[in-house]
Every structure is written in structure tokens, then in C-alpha cells.
Amino acid sequence: MEENKARRVTDALRDRGIDAHLDKAGAGAYGVRVSLSGGRQAIWGLEGTTGLEAEVLLDGDLVGFVPAIPGSENFDEAQAVDAIARADYDTPEGRERPAAPPPKPALPREGGVFRRFLEGFRYDSEADKPARGSFRHDARGD
């Protein structure tokens, strides 16, 4: 998965209350890591395939997987977020639920104020900024 796409998908999942993290697996290899119950983690997008699939790991050992989702090689970011949110990891071979569970309270985005600094200024954060003057407007109560 391309780095900026993985970051945007991770942010969108965190906005839905899903404990997702940007996963870096080496030079140019990025994916989305979702923390699951029991210490397991689902790693999406690192297999080098064009479709969306996941490995479920526990202490670095493969304990399950979600097979490639048909048609996912053409998914946009919103469809990828929905597919990851609908994944059911309860069996060794995961599947997709017919509908995503209701969103939970949003989790803060990783990195906070130092996000661009920690990531080496490799992406454009302009899309994440509020409209010019909106902070001042909100602070005055206008």
C-alpha cells in the first residue's frame, strides 16, 4: 500500500474508533495494523498484492488471515476503510460482515502536534488543517 494512502486509511479508521496504526515494514512497505482482542494484530496491505487482504498475528506468529477481498484491487480509500471495518477476525479464516459495526468514539490521530516532524515531513498535511481563521472564530464564540 502506498504510504499516504495507508496513513489516510489509518486516520479514517481511528476516526471510527478502530485502533488502527500506520505499519512500516521496511523500505517503502506500508500497511495498516489493527489491534485486536487477546493481543492479536491484523496487518492489512503488506503482502505485496494488489488486492486487500490481512494476516492476523499473535506475538509475531500467524494465527489467522483474511483472504483477498474480491474486487479490492480497485477500491478507493473509503471502500478500503469500510472493508477493514467490516472484517470479522473471530475464526482463523476471517470474513467480512454484511455491515460494519456502529462507530465508536474517535481515537486521537497518532503523532499529535509532532506528527509531520516524526514522519520526516514526507506528506502534505494541508488537507488536515482547519479552514483559515476557524480557530480564532471558535475561540471568540462568534
**What is the pTM for the complete model shown?**
0.76
For residue 27 the three cell numbers come to: 523500505
The span from the CA of 128 to the CA of 5, in Å, is 14
**pLDDT given for residue 118 in this prediction:** 58
> Coil, strand, or helix at residue 119?
coil
The span from the CA of 102 to the CA of 96, in Å, is 15
At 49-98, the pLDDT tens digits run 678 999 999 998 999 999 988 888 889 999 999 999 999 998 888 888 98
**pLDDT given for residue 134 in this prediction:** 38
Per the CB < 8 A criterion, the answer to whether 77 and 12 are in contact is yes
**pLDDT given for residue 27 in this prediction:** 74
Helix spans in the chain (H): 3-15, 77-86, 115-118, 134-140
Distances (CA, A) of 42 to 35, 58, 66, 105: 7, 9, 9, 21
At 101-123, the pLDDT tens digits run 899 999 887 766 665 565 555 55
For residue 116 the three cell numbers come to: 509531520
The span from the CA of 42 to the CA of 56, in Å, is 4
Per the CB < 8 A criterion, the answer to whether 9 and 80 are in contact is yes
Domain edges within the chain: 3-140
